Amino acid sequence: MTAPQHHIARPIPLARPDVGPRELELVAEVLASDTLAMGGFALRFEAGIAALTGRREGVACSSGTAGLHLGVRALGIGEGDEVITTPFSFVASANCLLYERAVPRFVDIEEDSLGIDPDLIEGAASDRTRAILPVHVFGRPCRIEEIDALAKRRGWRLVEDACEGLGSSVGGRPLGGFGDVAVFAFYPNKQITTGEGGMVVTDDAELAETMRSLRNQGRDADGTWLRHVRLGYNYRLDEMSAALGVAQLERLDELRRGRARVAAAYERALGDRDWLRLPRAGAGEIVDWFVYVVRLHPDIDRDALIGRLAALGIPSRPYFSPLHLQPYYREAFGFRPGDFPVTERVAASTLALPFASRLADDDVQHVADALAEAVA
């Protein structure tokens, strides 16, 4: 019996965490101990991420969103302050400003990196501008060196959203190595996972101490349990999650090699189609892709294509949906379609394909064949 052309031997996931015996070992070590929270694994994880990104301090927290909030709050960005940021992102990168009643001033992106366009930043500045919050999209660096220089020149703070950028670098400098604070996220679809979790890195010991206090219900460094010196949160990372992170970090090179293999397999399988633009690193960049997002020719009906792919057993997804067009942003700020044309054009053409470190080469070929069939 011959298999149908696109018979899929196993379900192909859109994303999949890569967890092995080392993760089981370290998480079991936590569970066998009496310390399930506020212990040594969080400290080890903090030291590991700080070392990887060349920063002095790491502050582990419960999610990337919590990390962004910690950073914004510790920098004192508050009511009425304007922060220049991108509308082509995951919603948390702008929400963290709303939490503090600061105002996101969206600036359109550039087609190539999909990051905020540095040439448009000055035009969005005002005397209330306090900071820039750029996002590295899908693991590809935005033009962070220029943005960093501009922020320094103008005396603005820099909050680097590196939630999708762990392991990527530009000019030999790791992402997460630029901002006053930089933030990583470890949801299961990320380069490494802790289940839920995040990390803020910084070189400023005072900022780090403030964020540790904010994360821990506003307690002081002396740790007195029922003494609260400021309004705080419970944004701590538990020890099971931190142990998972320590094990994943040990395996980062292996995981990264797996993702690079899958990206190369997509290049081979999809490389020569004129209706498709594949994700590529720019000059001087090393990219550890977080998701594999291709861009379709504008004549292709992306949403219909997603449906046809699903019928062929292939999950896929648009990535992202513009932030300024989310209902409550429209309501609060009066944004309308057309406000950020590059963002809107890109967002209408993106398609995230199945991507995971252990996706087999023949699964990648299945996806490519199904995509070609669905487009035809």
Ligand X SMILES: Cc1ncc(COP(=O)(O)O)c(C=O)c1O
CB nearer ligand X, residue 89 or residue 216 = 89
User: Does residue 163 touch ligand X according to CB under 6 A?
Assistant: yes
Binding-site member from 185, 192, 265, 296 for ligand X (CB under 6 A): 185
Catalytic residue among 44, 157, 190, 324: 190
Part of the chain binding ligand X (CB under 6 A), chosen from 19-27, 88-96, 203-211, 260-268? 88-96
Which pairs with CB-CB distance under 8 Å and at least 24 residues apart come from 125-128? 125/84, 125/154, 126/82, 128/80, 128/81, 128/82, 128/103
- For 59, the token pair is 């502050």
Q: For residue 84, give the nearest of 110, 68, 101, 108 by alpha carbon.
A: 108
**Phi, psi angles (nearest 5°) of residue 109:** -100, 170
Residue type, 300: I
**Phi, psi angles (nearest 5°) of residue 62:** -80, -15
User: Does residue 60 touch ligand X according to CB under 6 A?
Assistant: no
- For 247, the token pair is 């094990």
Binding-site member from 115, 167, 179, 198 for ligand X (CB under 6 A): 198
CB nearer ligand X, residue 67 or residue 364 = 67
CA-to-CA distance for 188 and 179, rounded, in angstroms? 25
To the nearest whole angstrom, how small is the minimum distance from the Cβ of residue 227 to ligand X? 29
Part of the chain binding ligand X (CB under 6 A), chosen from 75-83, 161-169, 232-240, 244-252? 161-169
Q: Sheet harboring 350-353: ordered strands across? A: 276-277, 292-296, 350-353
Ramachandran class of 123: left when φ > 0, alpha when ψ lies in -120 to 50, beta otherwise? alpha
User: Does residue 201 touch ligand X according to CB under 6 A?
Assistant: no
If 0-12 CB within 10 Å is exposed, 13-18 middle and 19+ buried, where does residue 321 land?
middle
User: Does residue 93 touch ligand X according to CB under 6 A?
Assistant: yes
Name the β-bridge partners of 184: 199
The answer to whether residue 152 is catalytic is no
Binding-site member from 41, 90, 156, 329 for ligand X (CB under 6 A): 90
Binding-site member from 88, 178, 187, 340 for ligand X (CB under 6 A): 187
- List the x/- string, 118-157, binding to ligand X by CB under 6 A: -----------------x----------------------
To the nearest whole angstrom, how small is the minimum distance from the Cβ of residue 163 to ligand X? 4
Q: Which residue is nearest to ligand X (CB)?
A: 64
CB nearer ligand X, residue 178 or residue 269 = 178
To the nearest whole angstrom, how small is the minimum distance from the Cβ of residue 96 to ligand X? 8
Name the β-bridge partners of 58: 201
Give the residues lining the site for ligand X (CB under 6 A): 63-65, 89-90, 92-93, 135, 161, 163-164, 185, 187, 198
Please give the positions annotated as active site.
190
